[in-house]
Structure 1
Amino acid sequence: MSEPLGEAENAGLEDLLIFIRDARGFDFTGYKRSSLARRISKRMHEVGITDHADYQDRLETSAEEFRFLFNTILINVTSFVRDVDAWQFLQREVVPELIAQVPADEEIRIWSAGCSSGEEAYSLAIVFAEALGIDECMKRVKIYGTDVDEEALREARSGLYTARALEPLSTELRDRYFEPSGNKFLFRSDLRRRVIFGRHDITRDAPISRLDLLICRNTLMYFNVEAQQQILDRFHFALRENGFLFLGKAEMLLSDSERFEVANMRQRIFRRRAGLAPLPHQPAPLRLDIGAGQEVQGVVRKRQLNELALETAPFGIVAIEYDGRVAVLNSQIRSQFGLTPHDVGRPLSELEISYRPLELRSLIEQATTEHRTIRVAGVERRLGPDESQYFDVSVQPLRSSDGADIGVVVNFVDTTMTTRLSSELKVKREELETAYEELQSTNEELETTNEELQSSIEELETTNEELQSTNEELETTNEELQSGNEELETMNEEMRIRSNELDETRTFLEGVLSSIAAGVVVLDGELRVRSWNRGAEELWGLRADEVRQQGFFTLDFGLPTGPLRESIATALTTGKRDGPVDIPAINRIGRSITCTVTCSPLDGTRDGVVLLMEEVQPNSPAAQGN
């Protein structure tokens, strides 16, 4: 556990987070301060900086430093079928039920939020392919993998993994879903097309909608309570009724039982309750509540209010820019006409809503030409042979303060249920009044019991929250340690490979030197012996271990070294070969010989010299020349 930051350090950290958010659009203000401060301090220590302001200066002058910082903060710890027991329960209990409740002609939509390098998304593809068969899986299943880390997403999109990364999978599964590609394994391309990766910030961006299964494991634990609640609001909005939410082993929904019921607490699998309308997502980013950002917060708050007002309007709203592109699709219009947030920015003419249930394009042209609102009541939309839906549609041109046309807004007010609901509500009211009278007496009895249990529940909730917070902190630390261990293992492997290469090179060089019949002596820049080959041992009778690291001119052997000083100095000074020099000497058996010595600089540098010593035979050309 890290120690709490002092007041000055905390202020410096908050200023740094605001700078990162404004400069690069990464909003870390919703992250838990303990783990966030620990990760940032780790990176600051690596670059030798102790003050947050100095580190901000470093970020301002080095764009590359942002990448290193994000890689440090975003802990990408993942693996195939991580926590095997949880995945087995998912495969055995959840997947069959999910497949059964989705009609055969509808798509099964799955989201892996915080997918890192993609192992989790591909694990989902394997699980559903095993349950449905590969061909059926390719027709019915679509998997979205998202993360904020672009480097991790590039690795995920490649679909390439090492043999070690695939160890959690059986040999049979590996052979079925992966094929060798060099020294790695590539996920099969046909099934890969059903897995879509993209950058997505779960604290800021609109969620993927109409999901049957949402997996977000060991990601929530990095955020504070407020951020976790906002993320869960988005997840609840994203899931269909009875859709499943799969969390990490350190994450629980202690205070959200009204919206999610427990499918399996041990494996952290929950189900969205039926009958509860999902909360709209909040598109505005999380805010940092400190004095330095009050002005920014005011602007953001107003923008958030405008966006939420449109998003939560009780009728469908479509806003079209002057060039015909869709600018706004609120929640009602998306759910009524099967649109998605991805349709924002597309030309209206490409969407079915432009001509069904009525021809919108001509109405838009009329409204903009006549500069007035066009209203069409009772527009029928056929939903089936015996079912229709009715709308009151209004097309209103939008103009700026200077009178320029900037677009139009189209409202779809659903009037189908007005009369039907009126009669149904009357019957329901009578039924509820009767049920209310029956429940009144029961409620009075329960109130007394509830009061007695309330104090016990509050104590238990407090204890649970404390335990949950501690558990999340421990799990966060564990993942940081695991990430560090993986980095050390990678470095160790690189060092082992480098050591093997050096051993091979040294063995090769020693073999070359040993195979030379002449004496070869290598001296360093201080004229100490670095190498003494077998030829030198046989010529002078001194072993290599006796002379290594000894000063060459201090050695006592059969070759007078004095005459070589000038030649060695010349080779060191000029960097060129000098000699040969013929020197009378006495070999290891006491016989007088003439030794010719050539001095060469080591590798063309002046940091060492190589001496080549050869005994001159009496009848050799060199001897006769002398």
Structure 2
Amino acid sequence: ASGAAYVVVLHLSPEHESRLAEVLQATTPMPVERVTEATRVVPDRVYVISPNTSLRMAGGMLTVSDVLRMEERRAPVDIFFRTLADAHGSDAVAIVLSGTGPNGSNGIKRVKECGGLVIAQDPSEAEHDDMPRNSIETGCVDYVLRVAEMPGRIAAYQAQRGHAATAAPAAGDEPAPALLDILTALRVRTGHDFSNYKTATVQRRIERRRHLHELPDLPAYARFVRQHPGEAMSLLQELLISVTHFFRDAPVFAALEQHVVPRLFKGRTSPDHLRVWVAGCATGEEAYSVAMLLAEAAELAQESALQVFATDLDETAVAYARDGFYTDADVADVSPERLRRFFMREPGGYRVKRDLRESVLFAHHDVLKDPPFSHLDLVCCRNLLIYLNRAAQQSVLETFHFALNPGGYLLLGNSETADVSGELFATIDKNAQIYERRTLAVRPLPPVPDLTALQRVALPPAASQFRSPPRGAERPSAADLHFQLLEHLAPPSIVINEDHQIVHVSPNAGEYLQVSGGEPSRDLMRLIRPELRVDLRTALYQAARDRTTIELRGANVAVRGNLRHVRVSVRPVLRESDPLRGFFIVLFDDRDVEAAVSSEVPPVTSAEADAAAQLE
């Protein structure tokens, strides 16, 4: 006995009289039962769906209902897989066998998201290869096997998981050296840093990859990652978890449509676009779902100016979303009315119509490190914060608060909350996790990008193939374009406040910063390269004391492998009416050592140096 329960779901015609239970009973000693009412699941038993019914898993029970909705008729396998994953998480195993159409290919995404195992029959063996082939194309299948190979592989996988459960470290333990080695290799190979993610979540995903390869422990998997470059990309996809579906969690979208969307259009007289950001958009279904709600409301309000920004860390998922093509199984949750209005039928599925696609701008974006969008009316970020540690959650919520207009709205996932942000947001609907931006007396600056990125190892040539072309963003105004050009053409610079805390770093200025071990800091005097520290400390002291621009003799610094002579100047913001009064801009002017000219600035006196030392 395996100790597992087996559920067989077919997409049967409503008029079909199924004899599947009798056929299976003739081939197995396990009892086979056709489910006609709520049934408690027991091990070593086979359960079979009845015709014209929808089968769901709820806790330890199988529930059955008549097919009433179109999505139930279109995708019975997907519906069961989703509820199986929600009920049993990493204990769920989804197997896609021979069949026509894409049924099952959407539901396996939820199984993958919850850490379960996904297996597809080898299409060359299947009588009808549509179902296994469509599932394989999602990238969510762990094993492609012939049917005879499946029992042994499942048993081996479960044995690996059982061993890992008995050897699991305590929740408060420090990350194992092997885990740090794996994350370092992942960062070098892919350019992605998961140090802001919850350690337990990352380790669970890594352990799953280890189980799939039947490796004995984390050090063995660390060696496997180093020896097999392609495994880093597979692990990256495991960690990014780019899965969703249209109108996921229907009650949440009903609350959004009822409580938020009407307020976005109420009394709107500005010709500016209604601006929405869907962060962590995965393959685009959620972004298009939000866009459909807004497009319907805009038509009623006779408002056409709508812009949805949809971003994700997964470049492959963003490209998929931008293409806007979805299979029949993918659109099972879209109502027939919306399917007719917003989609075009194409062979194998549906494509989002041009007018809706053009209202959604997809871009690769890291919400923890890249600059946010601004002047937003709504931010949707569902099921991203749950993977981040508390400090990263706080940083993301501060970013959203900065990006939203006063009175703007924030939508989070069912297991997430904005409470960690303190007083930044007020709750509108606790069940749907809808919040409203509070207006603070002092609006916080956007979080400073993670400076540990400045020390990252450059990507090897092999990893460059995974980078997308320069990504799109919102169209800048002439003033913004002017500012961006100045940032690229002017000398590298850093803006700091009167406490020497960094608030902005221009392109290339990171070359003059150096992150050391210990607690992360935004203190410029701790981050500046040692060769420049004395000059900068003195310049800051003199600029604050004399309320004037200070230029000092520089130092020779190795920049991109070349020795450069770097001169430092500090300019305080002095105008009483300037909102940036009290800030300093630090500029770095470098040139070849041979071309460097002697500074005309007099040497620093010992008294000034001693006084400047007090600024640290």
Structure whose CA Rg is larger: 1
Higher-helix-fraction structure? 1
TM-score by length of 1: 0.47
